[in-house]
Amino acid sequence: MSIKRVTQAELPWVNQQYEHIGFQPSSLDNEMIAIVMSQDDYAGIGRLVKLNDHEAELGGIYILDKFRGQSLAHEVVSFLVEESKRLGLDTVYCIPFEELQHFYKKFGFHEFDVTAPSVEPKILTKYHWCLESYDKNVLLLKLNHR
């Protein structure tokens, strides 16, 4: 198992996976995308989307079916949380499906008051889009580095 940053050449494969599962497509313009490899195969992906100079959204975590049960999602999230620290971000948001709340809490994500005036407007817009677009309930979680 290894994790690396996605290159422009790998971006079409990433977006094909996201299209398959109904996630929004990625771009390398404002995103850092990680790809997890199992031997020489692409096994999964995740991304940090910069919202501004101090905040980002962690999301797009997806492990291909044949690689599930190998803790690869844990590895991707751990990698992205470390990248967010390295990038000097103050806050990382996450919009997981409700049943994944316990998983994200292991990394320090917590629930917070989504009506607080300090919440990044872009993340609120996406949160409401997710609530309307998915059949499952989603949560808005936050990780503070500072």
pLDDT tens per residue, range 70-106:
999 999 999 999 999 999 999 999 999 999 999 999 9
- Total number of residues shown for the chain: 146
Here the tokens at position 24 are: 């929004």
Q: If you ran DSSP here, which 8-state letter would residue 10 be given? A: G
3-state secondary structure of 46: strand
Here the tokens at position 118 are: 């300090």
Return the pLDDT at 116: 83
Return the pLDDT at 36: 97
Determine the Cα angle at 9 with ends 35 and 76, to 5°: 5
Q: Residue 13 is part of which domain span?
A: 2-144
Low-confidence residues of the chain, pLDDT below 50? Answer: none
Return the pLDDT at 117: 84
Return the pLDDT at 71: 94
Return the pLDDT at 52: 94
- CA–CA separation, 40 vs 45, rounded Å? 14
**Total domains present in the chain:** 1
What Å distances lie between residue 54 and 24, 92, 93, CA to CA?
22, 9, 11
For position 69, which CATH number holds?
3.40.630.30
What global pTM score does this model have?
0.93
The answer to whether 94 touches 141, Cβ cutoff 8 Å, is yes
Determine the Cα angle at 74 with ends 70 and 78, to 5°: 145
